[in-house]
């Protein structure tokens, strides 16, 4: 395989602590003990900076186009800590002027003064984990905020950041069509440029997986989705990815880079990274537990538990797994540009998917049909070796 050009490069930073572990969450997050002081902020930031420094030889000369700080709840960081972290990053990487810098936040950790300070440090986009505005639903989801706090958090975010995303869930325990509509209408009232809508699923190794709540039927969930799509379209939002909706030119650049099979440095506990070279594509995974991660960074200068070259037989599936999530897909030539492989290696999957009506017939694009997006897992599996 040979890449004719390297893809865009982003930076992902994982903050692994949260105030309370939600029963549906399968992310690498750990509940803070005894309040915010239960973690050593200075120690973790130092580990992150060391982690980034170990990656610099692998990305030398390349520009970073976006930063995403996810978790956990990164908004638990102090403004000083956030400023120190972003200053250290700017001193070490070639960050694109005006780069999108996103921070995830939960309404329970939103404070007006703190958000203003985060904005001054360089955060220009915030993603709020609202999930619902209904107190009963929030309680069922194990959230620490209520509906009014959710609204206050959005108002504060809109005042301080260039771009705001609202995360909502649907298909919630005992959720009615009317309740789902109310959530969307409240979210739309804030006129944020971006909304993410996730269907609640019972993930393995979560509390909900062991003690499942009563969820709406598939038909009820389909009705909620269709209602959501209609309301969002009428309000001027375009569905550009399976779970993401944006006003014109307001898509999340960082997430688009993932779906287009771009590169990203991943630092922090449990972070994943993907870096391309002219002759290979590599992946890394770091220690998941924050304490183990920090100890590894301090004792040996890296916390890798996996570092591998992606095999030629796995690259087609990894590429299609990502790009088929985009409603507009990608140009067909992107496959060879990002994998270094000829298109004919996926010809069997393309033919099968097209025959079943899951893939658009346009030869210049790799794009799922509406039916393909509906049965995305089935479509993606057609490209497994």
Write down the pLDDT at residue 13: 98
Q: CA–CA separation, 165 vs 170, rounded Å? A: 16
How many domains in the chain? 2
Write down the pLDDT at residue 37: 43
Write down the pLDDT at residue 105: 93
> Each residue of 269-319: pLDDT tens digit?
999 999 999 999 999 999 999 999 999 999 999 999 999 999 999 999 999
Rounded mean pLDDT of the chain?
93
**Across 38-47, 54-63, 181-190, 362-371, least confident range:** 38-47
- Say whether both 203 and 348 belong to one domain: no
Instruction: Give exposure, 166-188, as e/b (b: 16+ Cβ within 10 Å).
Output: bbbbbbbbebeeebbeebbebbb
- Say whether both 159 and 225 belong to one domain: yes
In a domain, 1, yes or no: no
In a domain, 325, yes or no: yes
Write down the pLDDT at residue 110: 76
Q: Taking 70 as the threshold, does the pLDDT of residue 34 lie above it?
A: no
> Each residue of 204-240: pLDDT tens digit?
878 787 888 888 899 999 999 999 999 999 999 999 9
- 37 vs 213, which has greater pLDDT? 213
The residue range of the domain holding 337 is 315-381
**Across 22-36, 123-137, 227-241, 242-256, least confident range:** 22-36
Q: CATH number, domain at 347?
A: 1.10.10.920
In a domain, 105, yes or no: yes
- Say whether both 254 and 319 belong to one domain: no
Q: Taking 50 as the threshold, does the pLDDT of residue 350 lie above it?
A: yes
- Say whether both 216 and 120 belong to one domain: yes
Write down the pLDDT at residue 385: 76
In a domain, 176, yes or no: yes
Burial class of 294 by CB neighbour count within 10 A (0 to 12, 13 to 18, 19+) = buried
The pTM assigned to this predicted structure is 0.94
Q: Read off φ and ψ for residue 41, nearest 5 degrees.
A: -60, -50
Write down the pLDDT at residue 33: 67
- Say whether both 67 and 212 belong to one domain: yes
Q: What percent of the chain has pLDDT over 70?
A: 98
Judge contact between 106 and 83, C-beta under 8 A: no
- Say whether both 78 and 160 belong to one domain: yes
Q: CA–CA separation, 315 vs 276, rounded Å? A: 12
In a domain, 178, yes or no: yes
Q: How many CB atoms lie within 10 A of CB 221?
A: 18
Q: Taking 70 as the threshold, does the pLDDT of residue 193 lie above it?
A: yes
**Across 31-40, 144-153, 203-212, 293-302, least confident range:** 31-40
In a domain, 376, yes or no: yes
- Say whether both 114 and 48 belong to one domain: yes
Which of 234, 258, 282 is the C-terminal boundary of a domain? 258
Confidence of residue 111 (pLDDT cuts 50, 70, 90): confident
Burial class of 353 by CB neighbour count within 10 A (0 to 12, 13 to 18, 19+) = buried
Confidence of residue 38 (pLDDT cuts 50, 70, 90): low
Task: Report cis status (omega within 30 of 0) of the bond before 192.
Answer: no
Write down the pLDDT at residue 35: 47
In a domain, 133, yes or no: yes
Write down the pLDDT at residue 36: 46
- 100 vs 206, which has greater pLDDT? 100
Nearest-CA neighbor of 45 among 16, 9, 68? Answer: 16
- Say whether both 215 and 94 belong to one domain: yes
- 21 vs 368, which has greater pLDDT? 368
- Say whether both 231 and 365 belong to one domain: no
- Say whether both 198 and 344 belong to one domain: no
Q: CA–CA separation, 123 vs 125, rounded Å? A: 6
Judge contact between 158 and 116, C-beta under 8 A: no
Which of 243, 258, 273 is the C-terminal boundary of a domain? 258
- Say whether both 229 and 323 belong to one domain: no
- Say whether both 208 and 344 belong to one domain: no
In a domain, 240, yes or no: yes
Q: CATH number, domain at 158?
A: 3.20.20.70
Judge contact between 11 and 267, C-beta under 8 A: yes
Which of 258, 282, 298 is the C-terminal boundary of a domain? 258
């Amino acid at each position: 395989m040979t890449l004719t050009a390297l893809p865009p490069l982003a930076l992902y930073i994982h903050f692994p602590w949260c105030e309370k572990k939600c029963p549906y969450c399968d992310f690498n997050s750990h509940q803070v003990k005894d309040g915010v002081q239960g973690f050593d902020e200075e120690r973790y930031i130092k580990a992150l900076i060391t982690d980034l420094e170990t990656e610099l030889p692998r990305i030398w000369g390349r520009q970073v186009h976006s930063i995403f700080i996810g978790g956990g709840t990164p908004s638990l960081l102090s403004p000083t800590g956030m400023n120190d972290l972003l200053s250290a990053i700017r001193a070490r990487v070639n960050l694109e002027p005006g780069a999108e810098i996103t921070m995830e936040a939960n309404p329970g950790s939103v404070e007006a003064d703190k958000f203003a300070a985060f904005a001054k440090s360089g955060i220009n986009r915030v993603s709020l984990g609202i999930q619902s505005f209904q107190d009963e639903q929030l309680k069922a989801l194990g959230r620490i905020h209520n509906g009014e706090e959710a609204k206050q958090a959005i108002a504060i975010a809109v005042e301080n950041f260039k771009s705001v995303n609202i995360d909502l869930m649907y298909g919630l325990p005992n959720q009615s069509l009317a309740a789902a509509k109310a959530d969307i209408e409240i979210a739309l009232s804030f006129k944020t440029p971006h909304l993410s809508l996730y269907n609640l699923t019972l993930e393995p190794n979560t509390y909900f997986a062991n003690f499942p709540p009563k969820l709406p039927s598939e038909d009820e969930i389909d009705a909620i989705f269709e209602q959501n799509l209609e309301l969002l379209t009428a309000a001027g939002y375009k569905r550009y990815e399976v779970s993401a909706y944006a006003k014109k030119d307001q898509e999340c650049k960082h997430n688009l880079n993932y779906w287009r099979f771009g590169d990203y440095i991943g630092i922090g506990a449990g972070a994943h990274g993907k870096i391309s070279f002219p002759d290979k594509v590599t992946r890394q995974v770091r220690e998941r537990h924050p304490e183990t991660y920090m100890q590894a960074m301090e004792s040996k200068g890296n916390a890798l538990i996996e570092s591998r070259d992606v095999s030629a037989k796995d690259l087609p599936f990894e590429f299609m797994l990502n790009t088929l999530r985009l409603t507009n897909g990608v140009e067909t030539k992107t496959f060879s540009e990002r994998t270094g492989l000829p298109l004919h290696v996926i010809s069997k999957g393309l033919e099968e998917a097209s025959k079943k009506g899951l893939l658009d017939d346009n030869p210049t694009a790799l794009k799922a049909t509406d039916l393909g997006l509906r049965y995305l897992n089935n479509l993606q599996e057609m490209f497994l070796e």
